[in-house]
Amino acid sequence: MPEGSSSYDCAVVGAGPGGYVAAIRAAQLGMRTAVIESDRVGGRCLNYACIPAKAVLRSADLLSEVRDAGEFGLRVADVQVDYPAIQERRAKVVSTLTSGVAGLFRKNGIELIEGEATLAPRAGTGAGAVAGGATGADTDTGGGATGAGAAIALRVGEREISAAKVVLATGSVKMAIPGVEFSARVIGTEEAWALPEVPARMAVVGAGASGAEIASAFARLGSEVMLFEMLDRVLPTEDGDISRLVKRGLERQGIQIHTATPVRDVQVDEQGCAFVHGERDEPARVDYLVIAAGRTPDVDALGLAAAGVELDERRMVRVDGALRTSRDGVYAIGDLVAGPALAHKASDEGIIAVEDAAGLPTHPLSLVDIPRATFCTPNVGSFGLTEEQARQQGHDVVVGKVPYGAVGGGTVYGDRSGLVKVVGDTRYGELLGAHIVGSRATELIQELVNIRALEGGFPELARIVHGHPTLSEAVMEAGRAADGWLIHG
C-alpha cells in the first residue's frame, strides 16, 4: 500500500496490544489497514507499563534467587544491584519487542500514521444505536461486510483520512487520588518503572496488581517501601485466601503494609514528599509517592460526543458483544470498554472487532473467565469467581485447596508455601474459578482457563495425568480435593 493513502478499509487508533493485533488481523482478512499512533508503536503496555514492569521484576526475582542460593548448597558472595544495568536491559527488552511490532506492520502491509486522531463530527450528531443496541449483550453477533455504510472521517494533524471501519484502541491514562497532583515526586506506575535510581524510601498508593508489583520489585532492590490500600486487604479483587498469602509474602520482603488507610495532606518539594496517613494522621516522608490507584480511558482527543459515540456512567465507551459502539462502523476495545484493563483482553477484543467488521461470525468474550496475572513475589494467577462471589451468586460451592508443599515439585524447587484453590459447583462439577499464589502461578493458571473454555470441570481436571515432579501436580490435586478424593493431603 503506498504511504499517504487517504482511504482505508480499516483504521485503528492506537498501536498497543489491542490496536496492533486488530490491525494485523484486519490485514490478514484483506482490509487495507492503517494504524494511527500519537506516541510509540507498542503503546503504553510495551513501552511504559506491562513489559518494562516485568523486565525490572525479572531482575528482582533473580536477585531473590541468588540471595536464597545458600539453601541449595550454593555460596554467592557480595551480590550487588547494578540498577543502571537493570534499566539498560529494560530499555533493550522494550526496543526488541516494539521493533518486532513495527516489523509485523511492514510484513502485513499496514501503514503507520504518526499523530493524534480525532473522529470527524457526524452530521446531525445523536445517540444512534447499532444492531445489538451497544449494550454488551452476551449474544452471538454477525457483522456487516467491509465497506458497508458511509465512510468515517478522521483528522490526524493536518491530514484527513477516511475508513469504512474504525477501531478505537487508545487505552487508558493514569489517574491521581483526590487532592493530589502528579509532579516530579508524585508519579504514576509508568514513571516508577523508569526511575533513574533506586529510591531510599518509596510509598505506593494502591495495593492492586500494579501497586503490589512495584512494591515487591523496589523492596527487593533496596528501597524502604510503604504500601497503602483504601480497602481492607492487598489485591482486594482476588480471593481472600490468596490475598492473605500475598500479604504475608510482601511483609517478608520488608514492605510496610497499611490497609483501610487513606493518604492525605501530600506536600511536595524538590527532594521528595511528605504526607500523613491513617486515623491518627501519622506523618511520613518519602523520595517518591507512586499512585497506583486506578486508570481512566484515554478518550479526550477522540471527539466522541460530536462523532455520536456514547459513553457510559464510568466514561467507558458503550459497546455490544462485538465491540460495536453507538456509531455505525466504529468499534472500541481494551481499556476504553468495560471489563478488566488487561493487554490480553484488549488483543482478543481487537480480533473480535475486525472479524465482525469483515462480516465474520463472532462470539463475545466471557469477561469473568479472562485470566488475571500479578507478577509480584509471590506470583498470583486467577480466573473466574472467587469463593465469596460463588456463594453470593447462589452456587452449591465446593472448594479444593492444595499447598505447593503437598506435591514433590514444591519441595524440590523450594516453594512449599504456594497454594492452588479451585472453586466449583457440585451439581455438574462445573469449574467456576481458580486461584493460585506462588512460583509460576501466572503460567499454571492457563491450564485451568483452558479446561473451563473446553467445558471441562474439576472432575476432569482430577483425572488428567500431570508430569512428576512438577508444580502442576498441585493443580491436579486441587481438582481431586474438590472431587472428594485428594491423594496427597
Coil, strand or helix at 353: helix
- CA angle 313/316/321 to nearest 5° reads 110
The residue ranges of DSSP E strands in 270-339, in sequence order, are 272-277, 282-286, 288-291, 295-297, 330-332
Do the bridges between strand 372-374 and strand 380-384 make them parallel or antiparallel, or are there none, so unpaired? antiparallel
Side-chain-facing half-sphere of 68: CA atoms under 13 Å: 11
Distance CA 398, CA 486 (A): 13
> Which three cell numbers, joined as nine digits, stand for 128?
444512534
Tracing cell 479526550 back to the chain, one arrives at: 300
Distance CA 148, CA 156 (A): 23
Distance CA 422, CA 238 (A): 13
The single-letter DSSP state of residue 69 is G
Distance CA 168, CA 14 (A): 7
The answer to whether the CB of 136 falls within 8 A of the CB of 320 is: yes
> Which three cell numbers, joined as nine digits, stand for 284?
511520613
Coil, strand or helix at 107: helix
Distance CA 371, CA 383 (A): 5
The answer to whether the CB of 182 falls within 8 A of the CB of 174 is: yes
Task: Show which residues are catalytic.
Answer: 468
217, 295, 360 from 376: Cα distances, Å: 7, 19, 39
> Which three cell numbers, joined as nine digits, stand for 82?
547494578
Amino acid at 405: G
